[in-house]
């Protein structure tokens, strides 16, 4: 028996939020820190594959249908993609959209104790946005929704690890840091529910949301994840293999073919 779409969205948001926090906590407390760059490599592969092979093709297809009803046309997808990538750059410069991705190793974390609450607020906002994007993907195709969830979890592991390290360095206990990281991750459920009701009654907005999701994934991979790997002096073949593994994982898990 197939779960109702809204139930799948809530389940995906809940699983995604919990898995990302648990995996990040495992990296920070139980696994060697050298494994974190490996998570970055895998995440880069999943984000780029989901954006270029899943989200964009789905945005083009849904735009073709919505365009018949005076919605977004297929020719508008790539200008919107360009605008989205540039928009995320501007947003990152002036807000906490990516909220301290550069603090993974927290070299000056002791100087940033007062920023811990802002990090959690930024994390909640970011996760809320992820929930909206998950809802948009599920509304286009449940298989695409789960593939998008996988990509989000993959990139949230290094993200949450950085936030977790910052909270620990600022004097928070492990339980307190894990609890509040988990609470902020649950904001994606609110985003998923809101996205479902908003986009379900405004189908013309679905290709817009999918295109912006692709823009965000591409921007994170190209501007954040891949540059981190350029500083790695050892294990380059391993990182290449892990990027390829991320690509293969998304292709295989989504079937790389969505039928309607």
pLDDT single digits (tens) 163-186 = 777 777 777 777 888 888 888 888
Residue 95 lies in a domain: yes
Count of other CB atoms within 10 angstroms of residue 191: 23
Convert the pLDDT of each residue in 129-155 to its tens digit. 889 989 999 998 888 888 889 888 887
Q: Give the gyration radius of the chain's Cα atoms.
A: 18
Convert the pLDDT of each residue in 57-90 to its tens digit. 988 888 887 655 556 777 889 999 999 999 988 8
What's phi and psi for 170, nearest 5 deg?
A: -85, 5
Residue 30's pLDDT band, with cuts at 50, 70 and 90, is low
Residue 216 lies in a domain: yes
pLDDT at 9: 94
Structural domain count of the chain: 1
Q: Which residue has the tokens 């984000």?
A: 47
Residue 53 contacts residue 228 (beta carbons within 8 Å): no
User: What is the number of H-type helices and E-type strands within the chain?
Assistant: 11, 0
Convert the pLDDT of each residue in 84-135 to its tens digit. 999 988 887 776 555 444 444 444 444 444 566 777 777 888 889 889 989 9
Q: 35 is written with which tokens?
A: 């494994």
DSSP string, 158-183: HHHHHHHHHHHHTT--HHHHHHHHHH
Residue 134 lies in a domain: yes
Structural domain span for residue 15: 5-254
Enumerate residues 6+ apart whose C-beta is below 8 A from 155. 43, 46, 47, 217, 220, 221, 225
Residue 108 lies in a domain: yes
Is the pLDDT reported for residue 254 higher than 70?
no
Q: What's the average model confidence in pLDDT over 36-52?
A: 85
Residue 259 lies in a domain: no
Q: 78 is written with which tokens?
A: 């790539």
Residue 192's pLDDT band, with cuts at 50, 70 and 90, is very high
Residue 64 lies in a domain: yes
Residue 66 lies in a domain: yes
Q: What's the average model confidence in pLDDT over 177-201?
A: 88
Q: Is the pTM of this model over 0.85?
A: no
Residue 206 lies in a domain: yes
What's phi and psi for 70, nearest 5 deg?
A: 60, 30
């Amino acid at each position: 028996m197939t779960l109702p779409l809204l139930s799948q969205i809530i389940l995906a948001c809940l699983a995604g939020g919990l898995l990302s926090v648990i995996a990040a906590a495992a990296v920070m407390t139980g696994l060697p820190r050298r494994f974190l760059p490996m998570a970055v490599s895998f995440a880069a592969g999943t984000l780029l594959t989901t954006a270029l092979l899943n989200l964009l093709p789905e945005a083009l297809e849904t735009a073709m249908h919505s365009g018949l009803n005076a919605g977004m046309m297929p020719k508008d997808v790539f200008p919107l993609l360009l605008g989205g990538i540039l928009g995320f750059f501007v947003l990152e410069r002036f807000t906490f959209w990516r909220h301290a991705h550069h603090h993974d190793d927290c070299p000056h974390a002791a100087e940033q104790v007062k920023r811990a609450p802002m990090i959690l607020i930024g994390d909640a906002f970011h996760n809320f946005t992820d929930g909206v994007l998950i809802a948009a993907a599920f509304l286009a195709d449940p298989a695409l929704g789960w593939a998008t969830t996988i990509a989000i979890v993959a990139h949230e592991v290094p993200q949450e690890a950085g936030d977790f390290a910052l909270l620990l360095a600022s004097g928070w206990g492990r339980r307190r840091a894990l609890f509040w990281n988990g609470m902020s991750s649950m904001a994606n459920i609110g985003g998923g529910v809101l996205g479902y009701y908003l986009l379900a009654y405004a189908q013309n907005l679905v290709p817009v949301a999918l295109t912006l999701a692709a823009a965000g994934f591409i921007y994170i991979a190209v501007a954040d994840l891949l540059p981190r790997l350029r500083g790695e002096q050892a294990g380059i073949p391993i990182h290449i293999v892990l990027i390829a593994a991320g690509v293969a994982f998304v292709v295989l898990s989504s079937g790389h073919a969505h039928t309607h």
